[in-house]
Amino acid sequence: MTESGPARLTQPEFVDVSSARVSVVRQPCEPPFAIDWIKISETVYIVCELFAEDESGLGFCFTFDAEHALPMANLMAQLTTKCFRSKPTPAPSSVRATLRTMLSLTGYPGIGISCAAAIETALWDLIVRAAKRDWSNYFGRVADRRYPAYVTCGSVSSSPYEVAVDVRSALAQGYHLVKIKVGGDEKRDELRLAAAHEAAGDGCRLLIDANQTWTAKSAARLLERWRRYDLVWVEEPLPAHDLAGLAWLRDRVDVPIATGESYYDTATLAEIIERRAADVLTVNPQKVGGVSAFDSIVNACNLACMAVTCHTFGEIAAPLLGNAVNVPAVEIVPWMHGAFSGGPVVVNGELTANSGLGLGVSLAPEAKSRTIHQIDFDLQ
């Protein structure tokens, strides 16, 4: 994946990281939310904060299990110490290379790349904040962009009635796009889609997410049957490894294909772009390694005239997508965002650009009472 292209991240001004903090913050989900086979009662954030003089930068990754979060926090603290204990503080490109080297023996994809992403994001945030600039202004991008936003209504196990209730709730909040989980029983999916479509009416369109449960042939058959719903896209219709199937499906159906959230690093995403195996890349900043990797994917999509969006991470999606030419929709997960102040803000169904310095996000005051683990260390 090349990092060339218009308005790419530039070499930063110098900052000297003097200390750091890694925290584990629990954000309750009330009521609990079911995603496929997983029942989620909380989001657990592993937060990296870097400090330099009178400014700080913040990056984060997350899991849905506090037991997983604790070893991730310890790994993040170790990586941060090794990256920034030597002076002068290295540039983000050097930090990325150092992190990859340190994780080469134990494995970069997985929790390693998740921790590395939070560290690199925190450094970029610190650099832009230290320059007293917001993200768009610092990188010379269009300010005050707005992006169509969507929320997920119900889970794959929700009844048609429950899905319809969720859709009407989303409409009342101003959303014009909603996503429905499918991939279970076909007849049940049909009833749930019909209920969602009726509840949405003319002022709202549907996206669907199959969570990798279909084969290429079953996906083609169902999407042909569901053409009448005028779907914005179908997300993850096939198993993530089946790029040939994705390319085959994209050539045979009218519904746009969205995929990307399940891939670590950028190599597979580059192959999807090259093979034209999707219409929309749904990129997860945590899984690809942070801000710089995300930006390189956006540039590659721009050059290939492919749409791109941010998977979860609604808190920082607007600044991260500021260089993207085509962003059809951005995911908002309302029950995840209470740990942070500053974003996201959805007005009339559109995600607005973050305000404030850097990425515009900070830990919310109530996050302190939900912090279950904290590591502070000096890097002078």
Residue 378 bridge partners (DSSP): 19
Segment 7-30 shows an average pLDDT of 82
Say if strands 146-152 and 330-331 run parallel, antiparallel, or are unpaired. parallel
Residue 6 has pLDDT above 80, yes or no: no
CA dist 83 and 89 (Å) reads: 8
The per-residue pLDDT for range 300-351, each reduced to its tens digit, is 999 999 999 999 999 999 999 999 999 999 999 988 888 999 878 999 999 9
pLDDT for 1 equals 46
The per-residue pLDDT for range 261-313, each reduced to its tens digit, is 999 989 999 999 999 999 999 999 999 999 999 999 999 999 999 999 999 99
With a pLDDT cut of 70, the percent of the chain lying above it is: 96
Say if strands 19-35 and 371-378 run parallel, antiparallel, or are unpaired. antiparallel
Segment 21-41 shows an average pLDDT of 83
pTM of the model: 0.93
Domains and CATH numbers, the chain: 19-134+363-378 (3.30.390.10), 137-359 (3.20.20.120)
The per-residue pLDDT for range 227-237, each reduced to its tens digit, is 999 999 999 99
- Six-digit token pair at 263? 């891939």
DSSP-assigned letter for residue 37: T
The per-residue pLDDT for range 180-209, each reduced to its tens digit, is 999 978 999 999 999 999 999 998 999 999
CA dist 245 and 237 (Å) reads: 10
The answer to whether residues 128 and 359 touch, using CB atoms and an 8 Å cutoff, is yes
The per-residue pLDDT for range 135-183, each reduced to its tens digit, is 999 988 888 899 999 999 988 888 999 999 999 999 999 999 999 999 9
Answer with the residue of higher pLDDT: 332 or 30.
Answer: 332
Residue 258 has pLDDT above 50, yes or no: yes
Helices vs. strands in the chain: H and E counts, helices first: 12, 16
Q: Which residues of 218-249 are buried (b: 16+ CB within 10 A; e: fewer)?
A: ebbebbeebeebebbbbbbbbeeebbebbbbb
Strand, helix or coil at 11? Answer: coil
pLDDT band at 36 (very low <50, low <70, confident <90, very high): low
Residue 32 has pLDDT above 90, yes or no: no
pLDDT, the chain, mean: 92
DSSP-assigned letter for residue 26: E
Q: 357: left (phi > 0), else alpha (psi -120 to 50), else beta?
A: beta
The per-residue pLDDT for range 50-103, each reduced to its tens digit, is 999 889 999 999 999 999 999 999 999 999 999 999 888 988 999 999 999 999
